[in-house]
Amino acid sequence: MAEFTLDLNDDQKQVRDWLHGFAADVIRPAASEWDEREETPWPVIQEAAKVGIYSLDFYAQQFFDPTGLGIPMAMEELFWGDAGIALSIVGTGLAAVGVLANGTEEQIGTWIPQMYGDANDVKVAAFCSSEPDAGSDVASMRTRAVYDEAKDEWVLNGTKTWATNGGIANVHVVVAVVDPGLGSKGHASFIVPPATPGLSQGQKFKKHGIRASHTAEVVLEDVRVPGHCLLGGKEKLDERLARARERAKAGGERVKNAAMATFEASRPAVGAMAVGTARAAYEVALDYAKTRSQFGRPIIDNQGIAFQLADMRTRIDAARLLVWRASWMATTGKPFTSAEGSMSKLYASETAKEVTAQAIQILGGNGFTREYPVERMHRDAAIYTIFEGTSEIQRLVIARTLSGMPIR
């Protein structure tokens, strides 16, 4: 078992510096253009694929870092470059995590490579969980999956929303209800292979931030997928549903939910994204405060500015430590007895919103214009307190974990 340390090893430092260089030289110069275009930055994704950043091998190497710091380190550097473009680069990872969390070895080996494609033919994937009436309230999910035993096929019907890469993905991972009587415990995840009839893109959303990342509805109309596209397989699903029914009768213990397993695994990574955005805004504000003069001196000479920057940096470092702790715990098999994963996402997300707002304030009128990047960073930061579990949901998870009570 790897011992906890705050020192990155030489390999980690090399990867961090490589990612930072890509973020500085490729992502950041393109950020404003693709934010304005509100389109998927395919050329940037392809550049990432050419150098090996957008690839299964790269994320596997970071995922299996024995310290747990590979993924959060990568997320922080890429999102330091730009949140919208970075999300287009890493968005496929959520679908991949969905397969890793719930799939068999054969499913992992079959479908994850198809999510990425290669440098000459880049593909993306989508994880489809949220619905128009079921975001944080996963128990209200309506998308149904019905098993056609005669054909060994699952038939999916429903509408998913807020899906990153939804409709443009090569592979979609869809969470659906298989037993409505079990609430959120009656869910399962399915692979929808490329070009499957009945799957279409619905509304593409025009967003406040992360505008270079494609977000859309996914409509499923009598979508038929082979039985082997049920993640984990039917035998495992039947056993899980049987246990859930027995425990429901007994007033029972919690059973793992397919969508929640994906989110639990990804929350510290989302926290790292928020840290990257916060750090980027802080650095812009610090540089500006050192060079902008008012009343004959740099504005950082004023305590009102200097103290804000001190607080910003302190919050960023604290957020990073929470993210690193949760990532290390997850990798080394230590249970989140105090909901440490949710703590990391909650604090980092709120930090990103606060720090980017302070950066705008320090830049004054300039910060409110699109001539400076902090305006875009502030818009981008708003998403961290919303997607993959709102801040309110994180607080609920933490409170329930600490108290052992069904707080509502």
The answer to whether the beta carbons of residues 288 and 373 sit under 8 Å apart is no
Closest CA to 143 of 98, 107, 189: 189
What is the spatial distance between Cα 309 and Cα 286, in angstroms, rounded to a whole number? 7
| Whole-angstrom distance, CA of residue 70 vs CA of residue 50 | 20
Under a CB-based contact definition with an 8 Å cutoff, are residues 84 and 22 in contact? no
- Spatial separation of the C-alpha atoms in residues 398 and 393, rounded to whole Å: 9
Q: Which sequence positions are flagged as catalytic?
A: 388
Burial of 335 (0-12, 13-18, 19+ CB in 10 A): exposed
Query: Which ranges of 250-387 does DSSP label H, i.e. alpha helix?
Result: 258-291, 303-331, 340-363, 374-381
Residue count of the chain, please give it: 408
Give which of 139, 128, 130 is closest to 167, Cα–Cα. 128
d(CA 178, CA 181): 9
Query: What would the two tokens of residue 322 be?
Result: 């929470």
Q: 287: exposed, middle or buried (C-beta count within 10 Å: 0-12, 13-18, 19+)?
A: exposed
Backbone angles phi, psi at 156, to 5 degrees: -110, 135
Pairing of strands 215-226, 153-164: antiparallel
State the sign of the Cα–Cα–Cα–Cα dihedral 138, 139, 141, 144.
positive
- State how far the Cα of 87 lies from the Cα of 384, in Å rounded to an integer: 12
Helix axes 374-381, 28-37, angle to 10 degrees: 70
- Collapsing DSSP to helix, strand or coil, 366 comes out as helix
